[in-house]
Amino acid sequence: MNFLETTLADCFVVEFNKFSDDRGWFARTYCKDEFSSIGFNKQWVQHNHSFTNYKGSVRGMHFQLPPFAETKLVRCIAGKVYDVVVDLRKSSPTYLKWFGIELSAFNRHMILIPQGFAHGFQTLENDCELLYCHSEFYNPSHESGIHYQDKTIGINWPLSVTQLSERDSNHAIITNTFLGL
């Protein structure tokens, strides 16, 4: 596996190595020993799978509050999305900065999102599917989010938004008094 540093502290794009033959290919998408080389030593306790119908849909920007803050490993297995993370760790040198990357079934990249980050994506095609590994169990009383159009963050979404849940449209706008994680 290759772990590529992003512009955000502790956040990595993960590329896996394919082993190909006449039948197709095989790749390891997770190895505890390889992930420990970048300081990740947690275990995955929950795996989720999302499907989004329409191009231009936005899901996000989601996170869980402590003590249920979670690390996520996200991969697109069908279609193509613009995946975005925001560093909400007040003590981080990249606090309130964002990073975006195209994840697709074609490029097979993954993104390792540390706890204390908000995560979301916009579909660039119809019928997109993502797989998520989580280091903490989902706890509805600790779920939170920030608004996908928050001007303090200034995410440059590639498309006009076509679909957004009511929950995501009601996420908070960050102010200078935002506490961070």
Does residue 148 have an active-site annotation? Answer: no
Residue type (1 letter), 118: A
Does residue 132 have an active-site annotation? Answer: yes
* Catalytic residue (choose from 30, 95, 132, 142): 132
Query: Nearest-5° angle of CA 81, CA 87, CA 91?
Result: 170
Residue type (1 letter), 57: S
* Catalytic residue (choose from 62, 109, 142, 148): 62
Report residue 71 as tokens. Answer: 């690390």
Active centre residues (catalytic): 62, 132
